[in-house]
Amino acid sequence: MSLYGIAVMVFAILGPTFGGFIVDNADWQWIYLVNIPVGILSISMVHANIEELSSRKIYKKTDFLGMISLVLWLLSMQVVLDKGQQYNWFDCAWISWLAGFSVCMFVFFVIRELESSAPLINLRLFKDKNFFIGTILSSSINMIVFSSIVLIPQFLQNMMGYTAMLSGFALAPRIFSCVLMMVAINYLMKIFDNRVLIAIGFFFLGISILFFINLNLRVSFIYIAIPQVLMGIGVIMTFIPVSSLVLGTLPKSELTNGSSLHNLCKSTMTAVIASVASTLVARHSQMHQVYLVENLSNFNLVFQHKFAALLSTFMSNASGSFAAIKTNSYMYKSLLTQSRLMAYVDVFETFAFIAFLLIPLAFLFNTENKHKNTGEHKDIVMKQIPGDRI
């Protein structure tokens, strides 16, 4: 799981840095084209190194209806999430219709999978407490981590004037703490209860997000980098123990289904949160504009003094009427900047609160494996671990 965590977390963090390098030094289309050789290499490595188990049970009957409803649900949902903010969400007729269609496909998919004798994905696995809680926590980890990956580069580029590559470097310190924690987590899991580690991990995630509630337009690069180190610690302290517990109480026959459903939920949450986070910033920015504009009044002495000072400065190089227009524009631009800054703070406060709110859920896990007396769990471990490490 530690090695798997390297691929998932470290390279997810390297993505913005590498993407920023491409955008700053080449055409943006290469962000997509660069995946072609990676995909070809991956396919060739899968065929060369991964063998199909002859003992694996193959279902002759495939739930094509469930598969079609799943594809239609995810496809329509992704379009709504991608285009919703651009078209002002449900003020747009086709967004509303497509959202309704997505909900219908989701409901149909759930009913179909619950009623089917050979479901594409076994949704009844949510009856297992560990699997249910673990899926919620894993999806929440993705929500917190990927919201920061989306919002922090946006803030640095749009508000601070960072280049795409430099904003990616601001996330890079998370990699070092991730790697160090991946070395230590195996020993920590042998010493401490996994539930305690998960709780501490969410605490670190919450603390790392709390750093950003004091954002201003003069923060240094170091102030952005320090929380990334704490977040890397929190990610590994939650991700690895949760991954070890979420499938631990499932029977062997349901491991494949459980893994598929677990990853589907995490991927869906990642897609949703990328859109929701940006929407929250836009909406909260509009809300703060309403409140801040009250200060741009002739009855406000601070505003009058600032306006007069700027007007005097601009009149040295322009006529009085043009200087007044320029002063008004400058003040309004400052209003937009401050309202957007306050919106980022609001959203980070929300995600920090969610991280702290999830801490008690860690102690709802059942650490006893109900299959340990049947020999089934032992068989799983024996097949997954290479012979020289048994």
| Residue pLDDT, tens place only, 192-239 | 888 888 899 899 999 988 888 888 888 888 888 888 888 888 888 888
Instruction: Yes or no: say if 123 and 113 are a contact pair by the CB < 8 Å rule.
Output: yes
Predicted confidence (pLDDT) per residue in 265-322, tens digit: 888 888 888 788 888 888 888 888 888 887 777 777 777 777 777 777 777 776 767 7
Of the candidates 97, 64, 67, the one whose C-alpha atom is nearest the C-alpha of residue 79 is 97
Interatomic CA distance for residues 206 and 234, integer angstroms: 9
At 173, list the tokens.
């310190």
Report phi then psi at 293, rounded to 5.
-65, -20
Rounded to an integer, what distance in angstroms lies between the CA atom of residue 350 and that of residue 113? 34
| CB-based contacts of 152, cutoff 8 Å, min separation 6 | 167, 170, 171, 212, 224
How many Å apart are CA 243 and CA 171, to the nearest integer? 24
Residues 6+ apart with CB under 8 A from 193: 367
Q: What is the pLDDT of residues 54-104, one digit of tens each?
A: 666 555 577 788 888 888 988 888 888 888 877 888 888 888 898 899 899
- Which pair of tokens denotes residue 354? 């969610």
Helices 164-171 and 11-25 sit at what angle, rounded to 10 degrees? 160
Tokens 């920015």 correspond to what residue? 285
pTM: 0.77
Distance CA 272, CA 210 (A): 22
pLDDT digits (tens, 9 = 90+) for 269-282: 888 887 888 888 88
